A and B are shown apart, each in its own frame.
Chain A
Amino acid sequence: MEQGQKIRGADAVIKVLIAHGVNTIFGYPGGAIMPIYDALHGSSVEHLLSRHEQGAAFAALGYARASGRTGVCFATSGPGATNLVTTLADALLDSVPMVAVTGQVSTSVIGTDAFQEIDMLGMSLSCTKHSFMVTDINELIPTLYQAFEIAASGRPGPVLVDIPKDIQVALLEYKTPLLAVLPEPWHDESDIVAAKALLHAAKKPIIYAGGGVGMANAVSQLREFIKVTGMPSVATLKGLGSITIDTPGYLGMLGMHGSKAANIAVQESDLLVVVGARFDDRVTGRLASFASKAKVLHLDIDAAELDKLRLADVAIASDLRQVLPEITQSLDINPWRDEVQQLQVTHQRDYDCPGELIYAPAMLKRLAQKLPKDSVVSCDVGQHQMWVAQHMWFDRPENHLSSGGLGTMGFGLPAAIGAKVSRPEAMVVAVSGDGSFMMNVQELTTIKRRQLPVKILLIDNQKLGMVKQWQQLFFEERYSETDLSDNPDFVRLASAFDIPGRTIDKACEVEAGLDEMLNAKGAFLLHVAIDYTHNVWPLVPPGAANHDMMDETETQI
């Protein structure tokens, strides 16, 4: 561009995206964002048209979570923008870097209840890491640069940039802004000394690893820490993949639907090393009883997570990549390691389910065995999500996409689309339930449009399964509005989008069904009918301590 040449604000938006290495945007056009879509037309940036703004933004989240890059989505003002709210909240609770650009009515009519006008800046306050409304064309480029910086730095999160239509068509000279880089947290040497002293004194230490490990790119540092210390470990839903399943002393997921071994070991521990995790209520059960004999060493980049729910003996707000190597040291904890190993043996999962029907945990374990290396599994929310977490395994956190914090049904299918776009070489499987699948079913069109070979494993019990399970266990079997037996014929539904599929309902069909799905050239829907009486076990009942888990016989261990 020649010096002094002016371009539209809309063109500047696209240029800023290109400058940030954005190659795909997920979105849906509309009136107040038309200049930006006009600038997009013919540009080098690809755009994946969804059929609902929520589908677009979840695809952007899937793209971000599977690749570690910042996801970008576009929506128009009013309903387009409000349709993003759930996805922004999802990204906030799971700390996913996303930049959402929304169109807004022109500045001259803001505040007049104009057509498709909603105060999106006001609406964004509780569901974003930060948000902007650009009201000065000279602020447009610096604001967008700042948005990318904020989204990806520190604890990542969603940033909204609301751009009125007159700003999109106003002219400006494109200049790359000089930005102050946000300060990184730092820690004192005395913190490290104190942390090492805690580790040295511990007889029964255990690692409780969360989603922060993957977000901080600290997987290799954590694995080295585990290797050198020999410490047993557990992971949260979002931490799955940070520690490989064959790691000695790794007991899988803890918490409400965690493994018995993981929960018992945490309860028995005398030092909890919390790495990028936040004492979520689904993890801790009754907080006062959670690892009550343990001291706490809490590592997290977000200082606001430290001492929020559990007072730490040593708390360090810093980059995990820096802290973990500094506290890595060998420990003398062999008796504890033996005890944990014994726990692991005692509480092995039982996959024996007599009868002809399909047992979802066994099927998912089989799927994990069959998946090629570095595949991505994108879950929806509910019983199937917990079965995936319990019975599948992942080599890195980017391979397991699950709406952890917000628990958003409808996440799985569009997130799988985004994952396939960001990692086209990877096998991507959306594991969904019959309730969740219908929440963003329109995105089957997006798969068709782009001919994306996304595999869909739809586990169907004709119930809103997790709610039904709670009604059965805690609401005296009063099954209020959880029957979904009027579901559509899912295979015919997929077929209407040119996606082949088949239904299986017998255990003997699982092998062939999974093979057909995985070997299909393009997208495929494997519809798996299961018995609605199958529940997720074990379970920490509401208000109970994690060692008081219920198993299938409804007795406490």
Chain B
Amino acid sequence: MIYDMMLTVHQRAEVLERVLRVIRHRGFKVTSINMQVHENETSMVDIVVESERAITLLSNQLTKLIDVVECQVLPSQIENKLASV
């Protein structure tokens, strides 16, 4: 499945590494990424990921990151809750 996610993150040098590490470790592959730095100390990261797993398995983990302010999964792409593990 392909999911489109919009993250609001704190502007810290390592924030993208954190996000990408979680995406890889939780079983998702990045197919597209775009980051915009804002003036208000946050950045927006638009990431398209692909996986057989349910997106909540990833979005819940990203939400837990201290430097992730918000993690939105674009509504049309939300799949079943349960991951295939």
Binding site for B on A (CB under 8 A): 121-122, 125-126, 129-130, 133, 150, 287, 302-304, 306-309, 311
Contact = CB atoms under 8 A, between A and B. Distances in A.
B66 A308 contact: no
Contacts of A308: 57, 60, 83
Given A304-B60, A304-B61, A122 B85 contact: no
Nearest to B83: A308
Closest 10 CB pairs of A and B: A304-B60, A130-B66, A311-B82, A125-B21, A307-B81, A304-B61, A304-B64, A125-B18, A303-B60, A121-B14
A311 B14 contact: no
Contacts of A150: 66
B14 A303 contact: no
B38 interface: no
A311 B64 CA distance: 19
A228 to B, nearest CB: 31
B9 to A, nearest CB: 13
Nearest to B12: A132
A307 B80 CA distance: 11
A110 to B, nearest CB: 11
Interface in B39-85: 56-57, 60-61, 63-67, 81-83, 85
Question: How many interface residues does chain B have, given as a range?
Answer: 10 to 19
B60 to A, nearest CB: 4
Contacts of A121: 14
A121 B63 CA distance: 20
Nearest to B64: A304
A306 B25 CA distance: 18
Contacts of B63: 303-304
B54 to A, nearest CB: 8
B80 to A, nearest CB: 9
B69 to A, nearest CB: 12
A311 B81 contact: yes
Given A126-B21, A130-B66, A150-B66, A307 B82 contact: yes
20 contacts: A121-B14, A122-B14, A125-B17, A125-B21, A126-B21, A129-B66, A130-B67, A150-B66, A287-B85, A303-B63, A304-B60, A304-B61, A304-B64, A306-B60, A307-B56, A307-B83, A308-B57, A308-B60, A309-B83, A311-B82
Contacts of B81: 307, 311
A95 to B, nearest CB: 12
A122 B15 CA distance: 10
A138 to B, nearest CB: 15
Contacts of A133: 14
B52 to A, nearest CB: 15
Nearest to A124: B14
Contacts of A126: 21, 25
Interface string B1-40: 0000000000000100110010001000000000000000
A307 B67 CA distance: 23
Contacts of A304: 60-61, 63-64
Nearest to B21: A125
Contacts of B85: 287, 309
Nearest to B62: A304
A412 to B, nearest CB: 29
Contacts of B21: 125-126
Residue of B18, B25, B60, B67 most packed against chain A (CB within 10 A)? B60
